[in-house]
Amino acid sequence: MTPLIEARGVTKILEGVVPVTLVKDINLAIMQREFIAITGPSGSGKSSLLYLLGLLDLPTIGDVLIDGRSTNLMTEDECAEVRLSRIGFVFQFHFLLPEFSITENVALPMRALGRLSSRAATLRAEELLISFGLRDHLRKTPDQLSGGQRQRVAVARALANDPPVILADEPTGSLDSLATAQVFGILRDLVTLRGKTVVAVTHDINLAVQMHRRIHVVDGKLAQFESPASVASIPQA
Ligand SMILES: Nc1ncnc2c1ncn2[C@@H]1O[C@H](COP(=O)(O)OP(=O)(O)O)[C@@H](O)[C@H]1O
Ligand SMILES: [Mg+2]
């Protein structure tokens, strides 16, 4: 099977008076229906790696392949289309647009991709939000919701264009335990019920052990653990 996302020798160096290597020679393949935790100490390069895998940043060296296609060989427009249609992103802080309703926020990526009519985009946004228990809030703006509700909106937005893979950067990092359980349950259901792949950075060992495998990042490099049993033996940052 072709990986949904594959990193080949991915290295990210910030040029400057003193160049900083954020991510170093990463090789990994992310397959269909995987539920992957990315863990590692603060500042180890987890977010940088996720941004590279999600085409939000470009490697200095190496290549990221989406569905087996080299993004190095894509034009900027092709890359943008692939990112919009094949990858959903959830950030630690929701980054919803404050002046728009949550329905409009979820519809925006559909409008950007342009495959649905305006009306169909609104309807699909509402369906997604309703499926995440937000039926009573469709016309509200993000500031009228709780943190957990906002993060559910962010997951709905990530699903807007029905991508096969969701990348989430500490999606529960700023939530209380109840909201954490709800958002984590939604992410898990995306894998088990909807056949999605979810890759989530997390500091929470209790969540990491519930996932299929764990990718541990230290100093921008990988140490990979394949089973929950080995996950449990790794000290947490
Ligand atoms: N734009 C930037 N300029 C300078 N340093 C950065 C920049 N982005 C990230 N870094 C540094 O790169 C390292 C990796 O950052 P990051 O990927 O955010 O780590 P993590 O998500 O694991 O906490 C950190 O030491 C961070 O301070
Ligand atoms: Mg981070």
Q: Write the secondary structure of 38-63 as one string of H (helix), E (strand) and C (coil).
A: EECCCCCCHHHHHHHHCCCCCCCEEE
Cβ–ligand 1 contact at 45 (below 6 Å)? yes
User: Rounded to whole angstroms, how far apart are CA atoms 177 and 92?
Assistant: 15
Within a domain: 142:
yes
pLDDT at residue 235 is higher than 80: no
Q: What is the pLDDT of residue 122?
A: 98
Within a domain: 9:
no
Q: What is the pLDDT of residue 94?
A: 74
- Here the CATH number for the domain that contains residue 48 is 3.40.50.300
Average pLDDT over every residue of 119-123: 98
- Cα 166 to middle of ligand 2, angstroms: 16
* Number of the ligand closest to the Cα of 237: 1
pLDDT at residue 237 is higher than 60: no
| Atom 20 of ligand 1: nearest residue by CA position | 43
Within a domain: 203:
yes
Q: What is the pLDDT of residue 92?
A: 82
* Number of the ligand closest to the Cα of 41: 1
Within a domain: 8:
no
- DSSP 8-state code for residue 209: T
Cβ–ligand 1 contact at 42 (below 6 Å)? yes
pLDDT at residue 225 is higher than 90: no
* Residue with the two structure tokens 């209380």: 176
31: its two tokens: 């397959």
Within a domain: 3:
no
Within a domain: 17:
no
Domain that holds residue 117: 32-54+71-228
- Indicate the burial class of 178 (C-beta count within 10 angstroms; 0-12, 13-18, 19 or more): exposed
Cβ–ligand 1 contact at 20 (below 6 Å)? yes
User: Rounded to whole angstroms, how far apart are CA atoms 26 and 150?
Assistant: 32
Domain count, the chain: 1
125: its two tokens: 């946004």
User: Rounded to whole angstroms, how far apart are CA atoms 204 and 237?
Assistant: 9
Q: What is the pLDDT of residue 93?
A: 82
Q: Specify the amino acid at residue 87.
A: I
Within a domain: 219:
yes
Q: What is the mean pLDDT of the chain?
A: 94
* Number of the ligand closest to the Cα of 168: 2
pLDDT at residue 228 is higher than 80: no
- Cα 47 to middle of ligand 2, angstroms: 4
| Atom 27 of ligand 1: nearest residue by CA position | 43
User: Rounded to whole angstroms, how far apart are CA atoms 30 and 52?
Assistant: 13
188: its two tokens: 């898990």
Q: What is the pLDDT of residue 224?
A: 63
Instruction: Determine what percent of the chain is predicted with pLDDT higher than 70.
Output: 94
Q: What is the pLDDT of residue 199?
A: 98
- HSE-up (13 A, CA, CB side) for residue 60: 13
Within a domain: 4:
no
130: its two tokens: 């309703």
How do residues 151-204 score in pLDDT, each as one tens digit?
999 999 999 999 999 999 999 999 999 999 999 999 999 999 999 999 999 999
Q: What is the pLDDT of residue 226?
A: 52
Report yes or no on whether pTM surpasses 0.75: yes
Cα torsion 123, 126, 131, 135: sign:
negative
How do residues 37-95 score in pLDDT, each as one tens digit?
999 999 999 999 999 999 999 999 999 999 999 999 999 999 999 999 999 999 988 79
| Atom 23 of ligand 1: nearest residue by CA position | 43
Task: Count CB atoms within 10 A of the CB of residue 50.
Answer: 24
